[in-house]
Structure 1
Amino acid sequence: MDTNRPLLRSRLANERLHTMIPGGAHTYAKGDDQYPEDLAPVISHGRGAHVWDVDGNEYIEYGSGLRSVSLGHAHPRVLAAVRRELDRGSNFVRPSIVEVEAAERFLTTVPTAEMVKFAKNGSDVTTAAVRLARAVTGRPMVAICRDHPFFSTDDWFIGTTAMSAGVPAATTELTVTFPYGDLAATEDLLNRHEGRIACLVLEPATQQDPPPGYLAGLRELADRHGCVLVFDEMITGFRWSAAGAQGLYGVVPDLSTFGKALGNGFAVAALAGRRELMERGGLRDSRDRVFLLSTTHGAETHSLAAAMAVLDTYVEEGITARLHALGERLAAGVREVASGMGVGDHVVVRGRASNLVFATLDENRQPSQRYRTLFLRQLLAGGVLAPSFVVSGALDDADIDRTVDIVAEACAVYRKALDCGDPTPWLGGRPVKPVFRRFV
């Protein structure tokens, strides 16, 4: 990337985006406020682990598609599966045989689930899990893990965030929170709201493995208090193991939700779980029916074909192990150069190797959006597009080594800013901002 050449076409495209699309993107995490001022590239195309913007600049990309493109862009095996279905039609008035095949493939890969229903996005399937839990328990309240950043765009969750405008207070009051890893606090919450909490909703793991016995303890608490245990496996699904975190840690939830990596960029998500619960949304149960999931495009054949190709690729090619190996190489390299530049306590790599993030800390070792801006700006200047360090299977050792070299250069600038006590001269404009905030 030529750092002396502004992203003229990207800037113009961003202006057009904001004119027509609220926020300038269809996902807040992709907004240009998440990037340094005038350095938010608009993408033209991608292949493997590389993307090109509309100005012709090439980048090594991390966190592809908000973790959804874990095999790499335009993966040949996935595209071949999609192309086979495109000429056969994508949506019909009755289920396609592809729906049978996709369900069988999913349940074979995730054997802890007994039934599955597909949709287009994670919010829909997670909200369906909440609705089902409320129906089967007859209880109104939802308990979510407060240490996990996102569960759904729907009111039951968004009402708990800083962007709660438009959500009735009565709805928000039905959602309570519990801390990750603290069984005693969770039990206290269940006791305080005895007989009113329908479900516990959490990611089974995030930056670290769960404490020993924690997930099993949650399973026991849910059983004892009569509530439904829901694992949000949007991120852990496939990146932790082909069968998700539940397959890795050996604790079976009542319901679980999958998405992101499932389609390698194609829109597909899944609600999976115990037959006894899932059938409440079917045609073979005599009790009050639950409007579980009913989406016109939930079973588009090309997306389900993509999901089957992804599942096969993960299992047959050992993708999870590859993601871990790539992540370990990247984490080791970044830590080494950050330490060598004297910023090892300020540029910090965290998380499971297949799901790495980085923290940018100030002089007092506190999280800093200004130092994040400095760091992102230097990465972009070197041709690395990295809102996180989440790897895809398309990266190779040369990509990782190049990234580490660019990080080293960024850390040298970071050290200068720390020595000055002020990163402002290196920001190039306003700092990047958190997604969840009350005002623009």
Structure 2
Amino acid sequence: MTSLSSSPTDPGAVDGPHPVFTESSRLQARLHDLVPGGAHTYARGSDQYPEHMTPIIERGRGARVWDVDGNAYVEYGMGLRSVTLGHAYEPVNAAVREALDRGMSFSRPSRLEVDAAEDFLGLVSGADMVKFAKNGSDATTAALKLARAATGRETVAVADQPFFSTDDWFIGNTPMNAGIPDAVRAGTVGFTYNDLGSLRALFDAHPGRIAAVFMEAATALHDPAPGFLEGVREMCTAEGTVLVFDEMITGFRWSASGAQAVYGVTPDLSTWGKAMGNGFPVSALAGRRELMELGGLRTDADRVFLLSTTHGPETAGLTAFRAVVEAYRREDPVATMRRQGTTLAEACNEVVAAAGLGEFVDVVGHPACLVFRTRDASGRPSQEMRTVFLAELLRRGVLGQSFVISAAHTDADVEQTVNAVAGALPAYGRALELGADAVLDGRPVAPALRSTAAPRRLR
């Protein structure tokens, strides 16, 4: 990789030696031999990072992580948005350590399942019942199953938002759809977020056939337009369709009670995960009693096989969730993330503007869910320029595919990040002038969901 000048007059100079990735590279190669894709989550894959710069993490604390080569980083993304209180947050860890001595999994429900459910429903006022699981995809697919059982319909309408499930009903309509029958793919139709007309058109095209509408109430880049969520709610009610809000990201980032509380619109069902355990595996499906009871014993209808998982109620995950709830009662992580995220975005955009590169790089989005956008010399979104930026940040001790922050990010963490952005800009400018190939060592990153291993097929 082309090195930046070490001259003290170079604003892009890296203090100290460049990080090396010897052991990370060895372990990443071994992972590719052992695990398809070299990671257990596509978003964590080596193709999401510059070639030869794919850190393998040894440990983390607060907002910092250390890789197996001893390099330290301020981390963003925070476990794919699953950590809001910081890595190894002691009050959560202490609660889990105590729970371990009482056993992990039993043949009957534990008292903890009552306490955790009461905690959850105390936060999510629009839900009457909840069922816990281990990952978000199980919760979203269970929501769809309930909607289909309740309505007797099969079609699902999905907003044009990045991700809802690993299961066929959603993945079948992404570029990564090998192995999914056409009939399954045909059961999912799409509409445009913030465009009520596009949803109205789906109902008109599929009269009496749409079981559920799936959407995030808000995303990093898009708040709901005035009246949009209310309009979706009214349309679903009028059509007898189940409205599902995916709160995987917005839950515990927008609010501990989710985006539905922020915007004042109540779905029929909602799905939760990620930050509700501060990194511990726990997810949830919540909703109206008459829907949830279709998987229970207070129904005369045909029963839905609803989230019957061995590990859904294990004590570590539910204890972590309860400790997270207590942390949100005791402190205000949402306000901290909003404050630190706002500071980070404003400061980064200031140094970019000062370098005259504001039309090519910017930091945007919800303060608790920031992303950086990278564009080429023509002003088009660019994976090549994204790779240049990622590599330069890594050199300066900042790791992240985004600037998704946590309440553990200190002023010093933010300052280091802003300095790293400033330091990355000279190389970015050279890449704009000469082309990314003049700066990069190796191939650019590629979208996680794509139809072929190319352009990052392993050689």
Amino acid at match of 1:16: R
Q: Is 2:93 aligned against 1:79? A: yes
Tell whether the 8 Å contact from 2:19 to 2:71 is kept in structure 1 after alignment.
Answer: no
Amino acid at match of 1:356: L
Offset of residue 388 of structure 1:
0.4
Amino acid at match of 1:294: S
Superposition pairs of residues 270-289 of structure 1, within 5 angstroms: 270-289=284-303
Offset of residue 193 of structure 1:
0.1
Q: Is 2:290 aligned against 1:243? A: no
- SS of 1:29 mapped into structure 2: helix
Q: CA RMSD in A?
A: 1.0
Picking from 183, 203, 210, the partner of 2:224 is 210
**Counterpart residue number, 1:151:** 164
Cα separation, 1, equivalents of 2:381 and 2:241: 36
Q: Is 2:315 aligned against 1:301? A: yes
Superposition pairs of residues 50-89 of structure 1, within 5 angstroms: 50-89=64-103
Tell whether the 8 Å contact from 1:2 to 1:381 is kept in structure 2 after alignment.
Answer: no
* Residues 151-182 of structure 1 deviation map (CA, whole Å, 9 limit, x = unaligned): 00100001001110010000000000000000
Amino acid at match of 2:357: V
Structure 1 window deviating more from structure 2 (312-321 vs 171-180): it is 312-321
Tell whether the 8 Å contact from 1:139 to 1:198 is kept in structure 2 after alignment.
Answer: yes
Picking from 317, 339, 348, the partner of 2:362 is 348
Cα separation, 2, equivalents of 1:334 and 1:208: 20
Amino acid at match of 1:173: A
Cα separation, 2, equivalents of 1:79 and 1:272: 26
Tell whether the 8 Å contact from 1:3 to 1:381 is kept in structure 2 after alignment.
Answer: no
Cα separation, 1, equivalents of 2:18 and 2:152: 62
Tell whether the 8 Å contact from 1:50 to 1:60 is kept in structure 2 after alignment.
Answer: yes
* Residues 95-154 of structure 1 deviation map (CA, whole Å, 9 limit, x = unaligned): 0110100000011111121110000000000000000000000001011012x1110010
Superposition pairs of residues 89-168 of structure 1, within 5 angstroms: 89-146=103-160, 148-168=161-181
- SS of 2:368 mapped into structure 1: helix
Tell whether the 8 Å contact from 1:144 to 1:201 is kept in structure 2 after alignment.
Answer: yes
Cα separation, 2, equivalents of 1:315 and 1:338: 37
Picking from 398, 401, 413, the partner of 1:387 is 401
Cα separation, 1, equivalents of 2:18 and 2:252: 41
**Counterpart residue number, 2:12:** none
**Counterpart residue number, 1:417:** 431
Mark the runs of 5 or more structure 1 residues left unpaired by the alignment.
none
Tell whether the 8 Å contact from 1:197 to 1:227 is kept in structure 2 after alignment.
Answer: yes
Cα separation, 1, equivalents of 2:19 and 2:328: 40
Tell whether the 8 Å contact from 2:96 to 2:319 is kept in structure 1 after alignment.
Answer: yes
Tell whether the 8 Å contact from 1:204 to 1:210 is kept in structure 2 after alignment.
Answer: yes
Structure 1 window deviating more from structure 2 (408-417 vs 244-253): it is 408-417
Tell whether the 8 Å contact from 1:44 to 1:52 is kept in structure 2 after alignment.
Answer: yes
Superposition pairs of residues 314-393 of structure 1, within 5 angstroms: 314-393=328-407
Tell whether the 8 Å contact from 1:51 to 1:59 is kept in structure 2 after alignment.
Answer: yes
- SS of 1:373 mapped into structure 2: helix
**Structure 1 residues 227 and 37: CA distance shift in structure 2, 3 A:** same
- SS of 1:403 mapped into structure 2: helix
Amino acid at match of 2:170: F
Picking from 424, 436, 439, the partner of 2:449 is 436
Mark the runs of 5 or more structure 2 residues left unpaired by the alignment.
1-14, 454-459
**Counterpart residue number, 1:219:** 233
Offset of residue 307 of structure 1:
0.4
Amino acid at match of 2:270: S
Offset of residue 5 of structure 1:
5.1
Cα separation, 2, equivalents of 1:5 and 1:373: 17
Identity %: 57
Cα separation, 2, equivalents of 1:3 and 1:390: 27
- SS of 1:285 mapped into structure 2: coil
Tell whether the 8 Å contact from 1:62 to 1:388 is kept in structure 2 after alignment.
Answer: yes
Offset of residue 413 of structure 1:
1.7
Tell whether the 8 Å contact from 1:233 to 1:257 is kept in structure 2 after alignment.
Answer: yes
* Residues 190-238 of structure 1 deviation map (CA, whole Å, 9 limit, x = unaligned): 1110111100001110112100010010000001111000000000011
Amino acid at match of 1:55: D
**Counterpart residue number, 1:182:** 195
Offset of residue 390 of structure 1:
0.3
Cα separation, 2, equivalents of 1:4 and 1:140: 55
Amino acid at match of 1:199: A
* Residues 341-394 of structure 1 deviation map (CA, whole Å, 9 limit, x = unaligned): 111111121211011011111111111000000000000000000210000111
**Counterpart residue number, 1:404:** 418
Cα separation, 1, equivalents of 2:426 and 2:271: 42
Amino acid at match of 1:77: P
Offset of residue 424 of structure 1:
1.1
Cα separation, 2, equivalents of 1:175 and 1:3: 51
Q: Is 2:42 aligned against 1:37? A: no
Offset of residue 327 of structure 1:
0.3
Offset of residue 4 of structure 1:
4.1
- SS of 2:55 mapped into structure 1: coil
Cα separation, 2, equivalents of 1:181 and 1:165: 30
Tell whether the 8 Å contact from 2:19 to 2:395 is kept in structure 1 after alignment.
Answer: no
Cα separation, 2, equivalents of 1:335 and 1:289: 54
Offset of residue 315 of structure 1:
2.7
Offset of residue 71 of structure 1:
0.8
* Residues 250-285 of structure 1 deviation map (CA, whole Å, 9 limit, x = unaligned): 000000001000011100000011111101111111
**Counterpart residue number, 1:310:** 324
Cα separation, 2, equivalents of 1:54 and 1:417: 30
Cα separation, 1, equivalents of 2:426 and 2:131: 50
Cα separation, 2, equivalents of 1:247 and 1:4: 46
- SS of 1:287 mapped into structure 2: coil
Amino acid at match of 1:99: E
Offset of residue 3 of structure 1:
5.0
Cα separation, 2, equivalents of 1:208 and 1:194: 29
